[in-house]
Structure formats: C-alpha cells, structure tokens
C-alpha cells in the first residue's frame, strides 16, 4: 500500500511539474502575441521583422497570401492598417518547438485610408527558432 502511495505521489508531482512548465511556455507565447498585436497596430516594422519567420505565409480572410516582405510592407504603408485589435477566445497549444494559436479578432481598420471593421477567426503557427518564437503561418476567415 505504501509503495502505491509513493508511486502516486511521484506521478502527481511529475504531472504538476509538466503543467507548470507548460503554463510558463503558454504565458511566454501570450506575451509574444501581445508584442505582435502592438506591432501591427503601431506599424512597427522592426518588431514585425523580429517576430516573423523569413518563411512567413500570411493568409488573409479574402484568400490572398503574403510572404514576409509583402506582409510587413502592407502594414507599414497603411495598405493594411489596424487601428485597434481586440483578441478574444485565445487558445495556445504547444508541441516541442511549434505553437498553434487560435483566437478571434475584432478590429478597427483604415486600409488605404478607408475606415472599416473586421471580425475574424485566426489560426497562427509559431515556431521557436534560435530561442525566439517567430510567426511562421497565419490564416484568417471572416466571421459574421
């Protein structure tokens, strides 16, 4: 009986340790996501460059897919201008050096000087490269 109790205790402690580590990773990724959100609103080309992979595949809700250069250019020039981005219902799933993030976005836009609003469901794929999380892929769909 005592051996079972010790074994159960060890398993519980190991599980708690894994969950704590996972929670720490999720918190770090959530911080990176907030940096990315701010960089989009502020059209911060340096931060956008830092947070995105050279192999970025950025899918828009209308079907067009940008590479990294095109994505950063559109944000910085105002072709794709996010005035305000509110994120809800965010989930983060991590597997080794890849994180899949899903969330919903309510945004105020001003694309090419034309005010608008969008509601999107978004999936982001982040990859840890050389110790830093980089956005590798994004796909959005319009919501009613």
pLDDT tens per residue, range 58-86: 999 999 999 999 999 999 999 999 999 99
Tell me the three-class secondary structure of the chain, residue by residue.
CHHHHHHHHHHHHHHHHHHHHHHHHHHHHHHHHHHHHHHHHHCCHHHHHHHEEEEEEEECCCCCEECHHHHHHHHHHCCCCEEEEEEEEEEEEEECCEEEEEEEEEEEEEECCEEEEEEEEEEEEEEEECCEEEEEEEEEEECC
The pLDDT tens digits for 1-54 are: 666 666 566 655 555 444 444 578 889 999 999 999 999 999 999 999 999 999
- pTM for this predicted structure: 0.83
Domain extents for the chain? 2-142
What CATH number matches the domain at 2-142, 3.40.50.300, 3.90.1330.10, 3.10.450.50, 1.10.3720.10? 3.10.450.50
């Amino acid at each position: 009986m005592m051996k079972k109790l010790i074994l159960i205790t060890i398993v519980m402690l190991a599980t708690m340790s894994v969950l704590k580590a996972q929670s720490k990773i999720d918190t770090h990724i959530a911080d990176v996501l907030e940096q990315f959100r701010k960089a989009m609103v502020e059209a911060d080309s340096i931060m956008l460059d830092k947070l995105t992979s050279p192999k970025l595949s950025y899918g828009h809700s209308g079907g067009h897919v940008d590479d990294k250069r095109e994505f950063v250019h559109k944000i910085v020039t105002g072709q794709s201008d996010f005035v305000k981005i509110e994120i809800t219902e965010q989930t983060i799933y991590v597997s080794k050096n890849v994180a899949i993030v899903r969330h919903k976005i309510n945004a105020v836009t001003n694309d090419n000087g034309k005010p608008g609003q969008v509601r999107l469901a978004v999936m982001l794929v982040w990859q840890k490269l050389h110790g830093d999380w980089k956005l590798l892929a994004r796909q959005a769909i319009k919501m009613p």
